[in-house]
Every structure is written in structure tokens, then in C-alpha cells.
Structure 1
Amino acid sequence: MVQPEIKVGILTSKEIHFDFYGLFYSSFSENKLSGNFKAELVNEKIKISKEEKEIFIGNEVTFIPKDIEIDTFLLKDVVIGINFHWQKKENQKFRGKLNFIIEDEKITAINILPLEEYLTSVISSEMSPNASIELLKAHAIISRGWILAQLAKKKNQTKQVNEIITSDEIIRWYDREDHLNYDFCADDHCQRYQGITKIINDHAYIAVSETAGLFLAYNDKICDTRFSKCCGGITETFENVWEEIPHNYLQSFYDYKYEDPDDNWDLTKEDNCEKWIQANPHAFCNTSDKKILSQVLVDFDRDTNDFYRWQVEYTQDEISELINSKSGIDFGKIKDLVPIQRGKSGRLIKLKIIGSKETKIVGKELEIRKWLSKTHLYSSAFIIKKENVINEIPQKFILKGAGWGHGVGLCQIGAAVMGELGYTFDEILKHYFRGASIHKGY
């Protein structure tokens, strides 16, 4: 295996402003390019101009740095946190090649660069570079493994079904197969990637370089190493979030150094799930230590304090309007939200929405989160309380939940706590990916 190049979709827009810092080459011109440029869609072609002077027009163009270590480019108004509560625009700087293509009647900017270069940025974008070196090493290995697994899957896969729609149910799940013209997007949908915009200190470089080429494998196959912010105390299985393919190394377990002494937690059962979510059980990810949280929660995440256990309230008008706008279905007044199927972490896989005009079952976990929030709920591990019921119509719904994200694989906050407690990177990986072993690919 040799180190692959990665194609990352950064920004899609009718018009993109970008700057070259250093010297860049392109097949359309022998001149070295530097300075401020604009890409815009004109008559279904990409037009590149500098100071309003056209220098290229065509269907696709790639700019190549003279020196990947020195020469960089800046993309302006990149949207980050798409559809999340902290969505915003920022200017971002990158190393590597810059490729422009036409996609859905817009221009997409794609960054092409070596995997290890990409990975250094991912580690700094996903987590604080001031995190413990053991945590960063563990994260470098799982991020690299996820990349390699997805590249192999993309190379070998046929078109996969990611939704099942009947008259009674709408079941969808989301994965990186959505990206046809590049390998990954730069947002949380894949792995958070912001080029060299964020401060990358020695810890991130050390973590990537000292684990170069390492990934987890199970039965000699690269592990699809998933991660989320906070499992909520018990991790979830792969098949309950994505396609129905069990992975032995992505099973459900209690996120602590020993099993819960109360071993009766079967969170697929509603009574147990309600007790679990309303409790405050010990777990690695059950922490409010700001030093530890700062290792995982980068600047725009730090407004979030209640993630291990959280609560959201909606009035009847709010929830009926919300579900209508997010689903495109007029349910009328929302009469009830009924759990139909839960995963082993308590996350809802299927939820029945009963309205005065319509009743549907929705799933899987991310689709439920999308329908029940203007952005995303922290997780689908929640219980439902109704208040002030008038003529079968509750005037308020209270959702009490656990965790942040899908809960599969490594729990970032739990892993940060383990690092602070002195666990080594291989011990962290052994805890979250049981039965997997570390392999070197290149």
C-alpha cells in the first residue's frame, strides 16, 4: 500500500474568491500564478479572472503549487457547520492542489493532497491540538483507518440503498457515499477539515508522524473506525445507524473501566431507557472538566455544556411547524411521539409521529434528529414527556436525552478523559474497538 492522494470538497457556490500565496501552475498557462482571483459560472463554463481580466474559461481546471510545503491558497467564505447550530462562514487556507469543477449548476472547489497532510489538518480541526498526545495518536489512527476504509469501499462498491420509504415509514441513513466527484467533504458529515486554518502545533504533527501508516484491522480487513462527540455512557452498534451490516469491532458496551455493577441496563426496553437517561451514571464521557472538554470541543462547540444529559422543550406550535418544515409532511397538530425501536445505547432507530392529519414512522437516528430540530438534536437517545394535554393535543413536548452524536466507535470526550487518566493510545483503541488490532499499511 502506498500513501494515497485525497480529494476533499471544500466549497460549492456560483462564485468563489480565492488567493494564491506563493506560486501555482496550471495546464492552461505557462505563467506562474499568484495573488487574488475569482471563479464564476458563466454560460455553463468556469471563468477564472484576476482583477476582472479573464485568464481561463472551461469545464474544469486544476492549480498545482510549486512547493506543497510553502505555497498555499485561501478560499473565502467557506461555510462550516452546515445545518448545525453554529453554522458560519470563514476564510480558510490550504496546502496542495486546487481543483474547480462544475457540479449541480455551481462551482465546487476541491483540495487534492496527500493523506498524511490531510490527516494532520483533520486532527487539528476535529480536536484541539493541545489535547494529550495519547488521545491525538489514537484519533490519528482511527481517522486514517476511516479514510482508508472509505476509499476501499468507494473503489469496490456498487450503488447502495440508503433509504426505505413505504406508505407508513420513511427510513434514511447518511454516509459518505453521497459524494460522487470527490472522496470526502470538509464538514462534520465526513471528517471536519479546515486546511491549515486552525493552529497546528507540534502535538498534531507528532501524533500523525509517529503513527504514520497505522490503522486498525479486524480479520485482516481495515476497520471502518467511526467516532462521535459523546456516547452518553453506552456506545451504539454500526448497523443501528447505517446499513444493516454488523461489525464485530463496533458493538455496544458500557463506556467505563469496568462494567456497570447494575448489569440490567437493556436500553432497547423503554422502562430501562427512561431510567438510564434520567440517571447520571459513571462513564468516561461523564465529565464537566473544562480542561478535558477543551481538548475535544473546539471554539464553536464550547457553547455546548449539557451533552452527557440534555433537555429540549417545544410548544405544540413549535413542534408541529418544525416537523412540517423539516419533513415536508403536514402532520397537523402533533398528538404523540412514540418510540418504536431503540438501539443498545437507547438511541431511537424508529420513532412514530402521530399527528391529527398524518401518522408516519421515521428513522434512522440522524433523520429523527433532523426532523426534531432546526439543526440537529444532540442525539436520538431521548425520552418524551408530554404536558398540558387538551383534547388529546399536548401543549408541550419535553425531550430528555443522552450523548452527542451517533455514539458508534470512539467516544471523543470519553477518550479525552482516558488520556488524562494515563491510558496510552493503544489502550484507548482497545477499549473502543474491541477485537481490533493495529496494523501498518505504508
Structure 2
Amino acid sequence: MQEPKIRIGIMYDKEITFKLNGIYSLHKNGKNYTDTQVIKYLNGKIEFDGLIIEPEELIFSPENYESNSFDLFDVTIGIKFHWERKENQSFKGSLHFLSEDDKLTAINVLKLEDYLASVISSEMKATSNIELLKAHAVISRSWLMAQVLKGEAILASDQAYQSITENSEELIKWYDREDHHNFDVCADDHCQRYQGITRQSNKTVLKAIEATKGILLTSDGKICDARFSKCCGGVSETFENVWEPKAHKYLQAITDGEESDLKLDLRNETNAESWIKNSPDVFCNSSDKAVLSQVLNDYDMETPDFFRWEARYTQDELSELVNRKTGKDFGRILNLIPIERGLSGRIIKLRIIGEKLSFVIGKELEIRKTLSESHLYSSNFILERENKSTDFILKGAGWGHGVGLCQIGAAVMGAKGYFHKEILLHYFKGAQLEKKY
């Protein structure tokens, strides 16, 4: 197996301004370009440098892969998250443009290990503990290769991939990366955070990548779909409770502590309430800013309460939000009732009861999107109602889907002296580390 090249979807817009730092050749006409350029999508055609082109992929290749780079302006990061913003970003490799959904998509194509150098620096601080960085290099590499293989399998399949079931009583939907038909992964948190060389990798990051080059997590000879999230809240979740109903034996629910065996059945409503209301002694229950800053970039540090959190809505606020987000007329929302919880306590199915309609939604991300302007921190919450108040108070645990590696927990493990293999095998039970290239 040779080191692959990866296609990453960076941004999507009708008009994209970019700057070529060095000489880049355009395959369409064989001309060389440098400095600032503008490309437009108009009336079903692509316009660039006097060319009016039927939709096709335009490829700008660098004269020197190592020294050349390109800038994309006004890239949206944190799409639909509470800290969404725009920034200018720089990238190695080649720049491709194609049209989809009446917009241009900018795609960066580069070597896998160069992609990882950015991911590790984008997902967490480049000054993180070396063992944490090694662990994250392995799971990011494994997850990416698993997605490439999964995408190929979906394209080769005769059956359409289904991520939604809906009838008059419920909507069950999950969000993965299957909608990325023209590239391997996107650059945002929907896949894994990638911001090119905007945040320069330091020697520690490069050392961690070099030390683990070509090493993948495997299970039964197959590359692991090695998921991760910011904070599991104390117990990790199983794959099938968040995405398609397919169990992976290396993505099981564990307690994020010295003893990883589950001690409480958090599918039980009473147990879930007790767990959420308490502060268990687990790795990711940390307020150590030195440790947290390894995983949380500056805009992530704007979210201080992630292990246990609270969201409060008036009845009018929640009713307007849910009716708008679902497109259904519930009338005034009367209650939220968990129908099914996963092993971490995350709600998989939630019944929304309104004056006009009672309806069930799932899975966890659909719940989080429905109950927030951006994304609720997690679907692991309980509802409390104060006496003589119509307010809805959601008390919750964790940040993210909770499957696989818990980044906060892993940072704490690294600070405690655990080696990267120990960190990985804590979160991915029964997996193996194999060098593939």
C-alpha cells in the first residue's frame, strides 16, 4: 500500500477568490497562473480568465509541491455551530474546482500525511502532549482511510444508501459523510477539522506523524472507522446508536476512567438522570486549562461548560424553534420525552409533544439540531421543569456524539503519562495497530 492522495472539499460558493503563491498550471488550457484570481459560477457555467466552461473539474497543479501554496478567502469554519465564522486559509497541494448544487466547490488534493499534519493542528493545539498527538494521528489516518473505502463501497453498490426513515409518526435520520460524492471528506467538523497550513504544524506534530506514519487501527483485518468527539461526558456511545445500524466491536460503550467497564445502565431513565446530575471521576471531567488548551483551540475555549451543561428555553422560545427547525406545526410545545437512550445516556429517540402534534425524532444529531439554533452540545440530557414555570431546562453531559476517542479524556490520559497505544486501546477495545505503508 502506497501513501494515498486525499480529496478534501473546502468551500462552496457562487464566486471564489483565491491566491496562488507560486506558479500553478491549469490543465484545461495549459497556461500558468500566479497571484490573485477569481472564479465564478453563473447560469450553469464556470467563468475563469475569459473562459466560459461547461461544468467540469478545473485543476490547478503547483509547479513545486513542497514550496508552493494557495490561499482561499472567506472560508466558513464551524458550519452551523455556535462559533461559525469566516477566515482566510492556506493550503499545500493542488486546487480543483467543480460545480455541484448550483455552486462552485473548491477541493484540495494532497498527500495523506500532509493532510494529517494540518488535521492534528486544526483539531487541537500543536503544543499538545506527544502521546496524544500520536494517538490522534493514528485515529485520523484510520478514520480517513475507512471513509475512502466506505465511499468506494457505496458507489459500487447496486443499492442506494439510506440515512433517513420517515413516516407519519417519526423521523429517524443520521448525518455522516455519504453526501460527499465528489471528494473523500469535507474540511469542517462534519468530517474532521482541516484548515490547511493556516495553523502551521510545529516540530512536535510532525514528529508524532512521522513516528506513526502508515500506522492504522484495524479489527479483524479491516481498517477501523475510528471516530472521535470532544467530550464523551463520562461514557462513550456505540456506533449504531449514532449512525447506521451496524455494530463495530471496537466502538463500544466504555466508562472513561481507570476502570472502563460500565457500572450503570444509562439506558434507564433514573440512572441517566443520576449520572447527568453528578460529577463522576472520569478522565474527561477536567477543568485544567493547561490540559484543555491542548484540545480546544481559541474558539473552542469559548465553550467552558462541556462536561456538564445547561440550556434554558421559555415555552414560546422552544415552540418557535422546534416548529421552525422541523417544518411541522406542533403548536405550543408541552413536553419532551426520551423514548430510547443509548449506553452513554444519549437520547436516540425523542418524542416531542405539542398542542397539535406528537412526533418522534432521532438520531442524536437530529435531536441536537432541532433543539438549538446551531447544535445542542449533545443529546445526553434530561428535562427539568421549575414549579409554576413553563420554562424548559435541559441539563446535559458531554460535547459531541461520544463515539470512539474522547479528545478531552485522551488529553488527560496523555498528561497522566499514558502512551499513545494505551490511549487508543482504552477507547477502541480489541483493536490492533498495523503499519500499512
TM-score, scaled relative to structure 2: 0.97
Determine the structure 2 residue equivalent to 1:177: 178
Q: Establish whether residue 104 from structure 1 lines up as the match of residue 101 from structure 2.
A: yes
Bigger shift: residues 179-188 or 56-65: 56-65
Determine the structure 1 residue equivalent to 2:204: 203
Determine the structure 1 residue equivalent to 2:58: 61
- The correspondence for 2:130, drawn from 130, 133, 155, is 133
Determine the structure 1 residue equivalent to 2:362: 363
Amino acid at match of 1:283: V
Distance 2:209 2:46 in 1: 36
Q: Establish whether residue 423 from structure 1 lines up as the match of residue 422 from structure 2.
A: no
Amino acid at match of 1:411: C
Post-superposition offset of 1:56: 6.3
CA contact (8 A) 2:28 2:59 kept: no
Matches within 5 A, 1:263-278: 264-278=263-277
Amino acid at match of 1:254: T
- The correspondence for 1:86, drawn from 83, 86, 111, is 83
Distance 2:14 2:29 in 1: 23
Distance 2:288 2:108 in 1: 36
User: Could you report, residue by residue, the CA deviation over 1:397-433 in whole angstroms, capped at 9, with x for unpaired residues?
Assistant: 0000000000000000000000000000001001010
Distance 1:32 1:171 in 2: 50
Determine the structure 2 residue equivalent to 1:42: 42
Determine the structure 2 residue equivalent to 1:329: 328
Determine the structure 1 residue equivalent to 2:147: 150
* 3-state DSSP of counterpart to 1:395: coil
Amino acid at match of 1:258: E
Determine the structure 1 residue equivalent to 2:312: 313
Post-superposition offset of 1:57: 3.8
CA contact (8 A) 1:308 1:404 kept: yes
Distance 2:355 2:294 in 1: 46
User: Could you report, residue by residue, the CA deviation over 1:289-310 in whole angstroms, capped at 9, with x for unpaired residues?
Assistant: 0000000011111111110000
* 3-state DSSP of counterpart to 1:102: strand
CA contact (8 A) 1:80 1:88 kept: yes
Cα distance 1:110–1:357, how it changes in 2: closer, same or farther (>3 A)? same
* 3-state DSSP of counterpart to 1:299: coil
Distance 1:42 1:156 in 2: 34
Distance 1:282 1:418 in 2: 13
Structure 1 stretches of at least 4 aligned residues deviating more than 2 Å after TM superposition: 28-32, 54-60
Post-superposition offset of 1:43: 3.4
Post-superposition offset of 1:32: 2.4
Distance 2:30 2:108 in 1: 21
Determine the structure 1 residue equivalent to 2:222: 221
Distance 1:177 1:207 in 2: 30
User: Could you report, residue by residue, the CA deviation over 1:281-335 in whole angstroms, capped at 9, with x for unpaired residues?
Assistant: 0000000000000000111111111100000000011100110111111111111
Q: Establish whether residue 287 from structure 1 lines up as the match of residue 282 from structure 2.
A: no
TM-score, scaled relative to structure 1: 0.96
CA contact (8 A) 1:75 1:93 kept: yes
Distance 1:75 1:58 in 2: 23
* 3-state DSSP of counterpart to 1:170: strand
Determine the structure 1 residue equivalent to 2:380: 381
Post-superposition offset of 1:199: 2.6
CA contact (8 A) 2:45 2:52 kept: no
User: Could you report, residue by residue, the CA deviation over 1:63-94 in whole angstroms, capped at 9, with x for unpaired residues?
Assistant: 00011111000000000000000000110000
CA contact (8 A) 1:28 1:56 kept: no
Distance 2:203 2:390 in 1: 54
User: Could you report, residue by residue, the CA deviation over 1:375-398 in whole angstroms, capped at 9, with x for unpaired residues?
Assistant: 001000000012355xxxx62000
Distance 1:107 1:194 in 2: 19
- The correspondence for 2:114, drawn from 100, 112, 117, is 117
**Structure 1: stretches of 5+ with no match in the other structure:** none
How many percent of aligned residue pairs carry the same amino acid? 55
Cα RMSD of the aligned pairs, angstroms, is: 1.2
Distance 1:178 1:319 in 2: 30
CA contact (8 A) 1:47 1:58 kept: no
CA contact (8 A) 1:234 1:345 kept: yes
User: Could you report, residue by residue, the CA deviation over 1:2-24 in whole angstroms, capped at 9, with x for unpaired residues?
Assistant: 11111111111010000000110
CA contact (8 A) 2:40 2:48 kept: yes
Determine the structure 1 residue equivalent to 2:7: 7
* 3-state DSSP of counterpart to 2:414: helix
Post-superposition offset of 1:265: 1.1
CA contact (8 A) 2:126 2:202 kept: yes
Distance 1:250 1:145 in 2: 13
* 3-state DSSP of counterpart to 1:247: coil
Distance 1:264 1:435 in 2: 20
* 3-state DSSP of counterpart to 1:341: strand
Cα distance 1:58–1:264, how it changes in 2: closer, same or farther (>3 A)? closer
Distance 1:215 1:240 in 2: 24
**Structure 2: stretches of 5+ with no match in the other structure:** none
Distance 1:55 1:335 in 2: 58
CA contact (8 A) 1:385 1:398 kept: yes
